[in-house]
Every structure is written in structure tokens, then in C-alpha cells.
Amino acid sequence: MKPDERLGEVLENSACFDDEAWEVWAQCLSPTERLAYIRKHRSHFRFADYDEVIAVVRGRRFTGCSSQLLRWRHRIRARTLQSALLFSVAVWLGIIWLAVRLIR
């Protein structure tokens, strides 16, 4: 692969990351969650002025690090899925325990 082709592929992948990050930012997070994320990860954002800060908090723009946001989102999803799975296992164990107790 030629260096120019590699650069084109990298730019295309980063554009996909940016689009996915903006979608997560605008559609999956509330303004309160966005503000909390900005406060926690302040070094990942660049703001030119106060209007840009407001636009980012309201979900109209995203000036943060796309890969960090997506990595954070995947960790949150994994934790949620793990919690749901553990809860389901606990419920089924409770049902089995009750069934065994009632049969005796």
C-alpha cells in the first residue's frame, strides 16, 4: 500500500470516528451528562469562546477527542450489560431456589 493510500484510509477512518462520536454526543447523552463528561475530561476539549461551550453542552457540536468518547461509551455499555447479566442470573437462581423449596 502506498503512503498516499494509507493516509487516505486513516483520514476516512477518523471521519467515521468523528461521525460516530458526534452521534453518541448528540443523541445518547443529556445536557447534564455532557456537562459532567466535559468536567471530568476537560483536557480532551478545545473551546474558542463561550458560545462554543454552550453549543457543545447542548449537543450541537462536539470538539472533544472522538476516540476517548467512544472508548468511554463502550466501557459504560459493557458495565451495564454485565450488571444486567448478573441481575438475570441472580433472578434465575432465586426462581430455582424457590421452586426447589416449594417441591420439598
> Which tens digit of pLDDT belongs to each residue from 2-48?
544 554 444 444 445 567 777 777 887 888 988 888 898 888 888 88
Q: Which residue has the higher pLDDT, 10 or 83?
A: 83
Residue type, 22: W
Residue type, 20: E
> Which tens digit of pLDDT belongs to each residue from 51-60?
988 888 888 8
How many CB atoms lie under 10 A from the CB of residue 93? 10
Nearest to 16 by CA among 53, 67, 83: 67
On whether the CB atoms of residues 38 and 69 are closer than 8 A, the answer is no
Spatial CB neighbours of 61, under 8 Å, sequence gap ≥ 6: 52, 55
For the cut 90, the answer to whether the pLDDT of residue 91 exceeds it is yes
Q: Which residue has the higher pLDDT, 89 or 1?
A: 89
pTM of the model: 0.55
The C-alpha cell that represents 24 in the structure block: 453518541
